[in-house]
Structure 1
Amino acid sequence: MAPPAPKACLRVQGTDIVDADGKRVILKGTATGGHTNMENFITGYPGHESEMRAAMLEVLGREKYDFFFDKFLEYFFTSSDASFLASLGLNCIRIPINHRHFMDNLNPSVIKPEGFKLVDRIVDACAAEGLYTILDMHTFPGGQNQGWHSDSGIHKALFWDFKDLQDRMVDLWVAIAEHYKGNTWVAGYNPMNEPADPDHVNLQAFYRRVEKAIRAVDPDHILFLDGNTYAMDFSAFKEVLPNCVYAMHDYATMGFPAGEPYVGSPEQNEFLRKSYERKVQFMKEHSVPIWNGEFGPVYASADEKDHEKINGQRYNLLGQQMSIYKQDQISWSIWLYKDIGFQGMVYLNPTTPYIQLLAPFLAKKKRLGLDKWGRDDAQVAHIYAPVIQHFSEEIPERFRDRRYPPQWRLEGHIHRVLRETLFSEILCWEYASYFEGKTLEELDALAGSFRLENCVRRERLNEILRGDAQRGEGGDN
């Protein structure tokens, strides 16, 4: 039997999120990344979702294309998934959404009802298990950032340069707010995932505008506002908007192949603490709640050398980060719930039809290091090193890191254009070719690989999350 709905929407009270009775609620959960917004490392395709879908449509034809993706969306998250997450003591699920489920570029003024049906199913499944949800707009037309996960297909954030794109997204958020107003299982709206505004002023202007527009139709729901430059920089923020929680993302390089191994030294722990404190300085100075919307290491697969040792270090890193969050009693959402074996709390069994079919391509993609997220460049570093050297020799040093975001350095921008965009886009057709000639029954089995019962549970990770997130642990959940 489903629990009764909360009496009112959650709201901000000082530094806390509170319920209708004024009781503090610490939101602890995960994200359904890879579902209503697909990402390359999560489900195995190269590049950007829209490019992959175009190649799949070309190969499958409309009927089979619609069938496969409808089944994928159906199987990826069901009531079984919601029940499993609730069993860990989690109380809030973040739902990353691709705007394309709600609007088409050639007919942008029409909001598609199919988008609401898709998100409603997740919200309702979570509500039936007593789980709050946060609606996260993960992609924007033109791209709100330079990354693959904004599904722009390019390496620039053009959203900030075109008012008509901004108008479209304000209108979409008004429609979403109208649809979910009064739904007390929705903890709030995350209007923009990981913005990257080169001018550091356009983002705040957009937040002011979208907050006002949302409040006109839904005055009650919390807004969860990401910092600039991939939710890591609040240095240019000048004001606090009402009933808003400010969100940072706290990934640690020590949790990825390119970072140094985490051994728990005092110096490493101090680095983690200082990184966190820098990101939350704005929230603490203005006495507003903190939400860590994304964090978490990646994990070595069983075929990698010393994988048990590596993963042990990364579990310890995660534990250290969560001890920091617990001291400040902040809300958090780990990234991520389900994938093909890289970071998820659960991942597809290697024996599933999807993994069996794509094994050669997944091995090739891993060897080439096409996905930015946690890649190992060991087998291709010698190919790109001369290109990076050539750029470095021809570009004066004072200009090399002028391109935003400067944190990527020259090397990162080269990889973004050559590997993550151009190379990956062309390989979308190779990925799609694996599905050529498949029957509806075969496509159903491939999509069904994403059912929870066909997944392996990453038990150590789930134990860590359960230990921190059990209801009542670390706060009044």
Structure 2
Amino acid sequence: MNTLNWQRLRSRLSQLALSLALLNVGQAHAQNLTMLRAQGGKTVDARGKEIVLRGFNVGGWLLQESYILKTDTLDSQARIRGGLLRTMSDKELEDFYADYRAKFVTKADIDFVAAQGFNCVRLPFHYDLFLTREQRLERNKVSRSRRNLDAYVQSLTQWYDQDRLFTDSQNLDGFRIIDQVLNWCAARNMYVILDLHAAPGGQGFDRNINDNFLPLDLWKRKDAKGRLIYQDITVRLWEKLAARYQKDPRVAMYDFINEPHKVNAENGLSNDNAEINGLYSRLINAVRRQGDQHLVLLEGNGYGNEYTNLTPDKLQVQDRTNLVYNAHRYWCPNDPAATDPNPNQINLLANLAAFRDKWQVPVWVGETGENSNEWFAGAVQGLNNQNIGWCHWNLKRVEGVTSLLRVRNYGSILTPEGRAALLRNIQFKECVPNRDVIAALTGPATARVPYTALRIPGTIHATDYDMGRNGIAYQDAYAERIDYRKEAPTNNGSVYRNDGIDIQINSDKLSNGFAISDMAAGEWINYTVTVAKAGTYTLQARVKNDTSAPAKLTVKLDAAVVGTLTVPQAAAASSWTTISVPTTALPVGKHTLQLYVEQPGASVSWLQFNPTTTPTTQGGQ
């Protein structure tokens, strides 16, 4: 046996030994987790019990998306890296990313997800984490200049032919991080979905999503031998992943390729998903040849939803077991009666269930979110009613109101000060849980619960209204986005809370930093309050009116009017003012306080109830 073959054999034996060791560790941690399989339209465990996977995506961690980090002008991880490389060396860049990955998601984050009652984590990752550091330096050259792309593809081709891609599973970042996440999740009895979010070459146009250098290169790029080299590399990566995790019950599914999109005739490809069919068929066959029977999740064209020519009967495979079909639900109706005329377009609830029933395959919503709490609650209710699992997007986001955790702003990633702040702010202990998002995803559909404890006498910040659905906790004319073409935000300020209530940043020194604004006639907001002492009070309100007509607000306690606030029309320079009115007698105990808009125009920072000592007339200060 020559030296090269001996080295390869020794490497493979070492990988096998490590895989067996990891499997033993995983099984020790995952006593209640078993391999999942498809049974008709259900996903079941080894005991035949149906398992409905509901969880969170940890996007922005192993692939940076610009909008998650608020670096929108940079538009993709490769361009972020290119910007950093203007002032950093390759080593400094690698060290920064290692530090970023070590802090963005930790065991504490996973434990927090588990504590909310979720049973899975979808792990979006970039293929470049399975390159060595030296190989990533070649990719960095393309981040510096697109002129280096052909040389990078040539290097990839050489590494592929020499079997130098994805081979050092003991040291490559991708394998190490997956192993870590599997251990964290298994300790909390949660499954993991492995998601190739940024495939070699890029699976579509959107650079945020797939970090491509050229659109659709996964489907188009050929090497000097005429091979679709990025597809060959993608198959090789999944072969390596399957070799390592094929018997691991902690892995729920392999999500082969995230959100292929614009793979169509308009872009020089077929109009029937033929290219996607060909690659998915290759991937299924490659995984099954290794004896790996994990569930495999297929994502349709058009951001994961359209399955023409991708149904089980059309795939070029012998083994059609354990297939799962994906939908990504954003900005669409939650009406269970709404349908799409194309039965293979499955992001609507009715189409999703019908596709499952027709083909007798499980369906799963791998991504959903980026909307208001009202939409979240409706989506969860509709999916739960159909026993369809889902995974919310996303765990963390800078100044994000739709994520599970909110990361405080940090400045610019391109400055040393900004990077230091980012590395501090992304840590779990520094993040702020979005309690209203959690309540919308996990609470009963009709629930209304306090956002915080509110007492009378005392101050009630207008933004601390109850958590719950539109028509229950509050009433707002535009509370959810159900048309992807309508980009107007449901919360005009997009800060603090994630309901239909419009909230603005408030610089008034007497505020909590926020105020409710843009209130239309007939809208209302509920607060659960505890009246500690019965009697009459002086009601003060911190308000502003930027319109040319007076605004009028009614304050009610359990539907009985206790005070009326008239907010004068704007002066030449509108500013915050405090107005006061006497209330009727308030009974002791727990009650619902409601702020009702009779005439629009007012913004409200807070209400304050003080025991009456002297007669009060409405006025300002």
1:91 Cα deviation from its structure 2 partner = 0.4
Alignment of 1:79-98 (within 5 A): 79-98=107-126
1:161 Cα deviation from its structure 2 partner = 1.9
Q: When the two structures are superposed, what TM-score results if normalisation uses the length of structure 1? A: 0.70
Quickly say closer, same or farther: Cα 1:124–1:273, change in 2 above 3 A: farther
Measured in 1, the distance between the counterparts of 2:395 and 2:338 equals 23
Residue by residue over 1:49-106, the C-alpha shift from the partner in whole angstroms, topping out at 9 and shown as x without a partner, is 0121122133122343222211110011111011100001100000001111113443
Measured in 2, the distance between the counterparts of 1:204 and 1:468 equals 40
1:6 Cα deviation from its structure 2 partner = 4.1
Code of the aligned partner of 2:431: C
Aligned to 1:143: 202
Quickly say closer, same or farther: Cα 1:248–1:93, change in 2 above 3 A: same
Identify which of 361, 367, 370 aligns with 1:297.
Answer: 370
Quickly say closer, same or farther: Cα 1:468–1:219, change in 2 above 3 A: farther
Structure 1 contact 178–218 (Cα < 8 Å) conserved? no
Structure 2 contact 335–349 (Cα < 8 Å) conserved? no
Between stretches 314-323 and 275-284, larger displacement belongs to 275-284
Quickly say closer, same or farther: Cα 1:462–1:184, change in 2 above 3 A: same
Aligned to 1:269: 335
Measured in 2, the distance between the counterparts of 1:280 and 1:338 equals 30
Measured in 1, the distance between the counterparts of 2:257 and 2:185 equals 22
Corresponding residue SS for 2:364: strand
Corresponding residue SS for 1:42: helix
Aligned to 2:40: 14
Code of the aligned partner of 2:381: S
Between stretches 20-29 and 289-298, larger displacement belongs to 289-298
Identify which of 305, 311, 320 aligns with 1:232.
Answer: 305
Corresponding residue SS for 1:97: strand
Task: Report how many residues are paired.
Answer: 357
1:324 Cα deviation from its structure 2 partner = 1.1
Q: Which has the higher contact order (CA 8 A, sep 6+)?
A: 1
Structure 2 contact 353–386 (Cα < 8 Å) conserved? no
Measured in 2, the distance between the counterparts of 1:251 and 1:42 equals 16
Between stretches 20-29 and 282-291, larger displacement belongs to 282-291
Alignment of 1:26-425 (within 5 A): 26-45=52-71, 46-103=74-131, 104=135, 105=152, 106-107=155-156, 108-109=159-160, 110-111=165-166, 113-148=172-207, 149-154=209-214, 156-162=215-221, 163-196=228-261, 197-198=263-264, 199=270, 200-239=273-312, 241-252=320-331, 269=335, 275-298=348-371, 314-342=372-400, 343-349=402-408, 355-358=409-412
Structure 1 contact 5–185 (Cα < 8 Å) conserved? no
| Overall identity of the aligned pairs, in % | 26
Aligned to 1:394: none
Structure 2 contact 410–421 (Cα < 8 Å) conserved? no
Measured in 1, the distance between the counterparts of 2:441 and 2:336 equals 23
Measured in 2, the distance between the counterparts of 1:272 and 1:320 equals 13
Quickly say closer, same or farther: Cα 1:451–1:227, change in 2 above 3 A: same
Aligned to 2:523: none
1:202 Cα deviation from its structure 2 partner = 1.1
Measured in 2, the distance between the counterparts of 1:356 and 1:85 equals 24
Residue by residue over 1:275-304, the C-alpha shift from the partner in whole angstroms, topping out at 9 and shown as x without a partner, is 332355433310111100111134xxxxxx
Aligned to 1:417: none
Alignment of 1:444-455 (within 5 A): 445-455=421-431
Code of the aligned partner of 1:174: E
CA RMSD of aligned residues (A): 2.4
Corresponding residue SS for 1:53: helix
Measured in 1, the distance between the counterparts of 2:311 and 2:249 equals 30
Residue by residue over 1:103-136, the C-alpha shift from the partner in whole angstroms, topping out at 9 and shown as x without a partner, is 3443452215222112222222112221110000
Corresponding residue SS for 2:198: coil
Corresponding residue SS for 2:253: strand
Corresponding residue SS for 2:403: coil
Aligned to 2:11: none
Structure 2 contact 59–123 (Cα < 8 Å) conserved? yes
1:273 Cα deviation from its structure 2 partner = 6.2
Between stretches 453-462 and 38-47, larger displacement belongs to 38-47
Structure with more strand by fraction: 2
Quickly say closer, same or farther: Cα 1:43–1:238, change in 2 above 3 A: same
Structure 2 contact 36–294 (Cα < 8 Å) conserved? yes
Q: Which structure has the larger Rg?
A: 2
Structure with more helix by fraction: 1
Aligned to 2:619: none
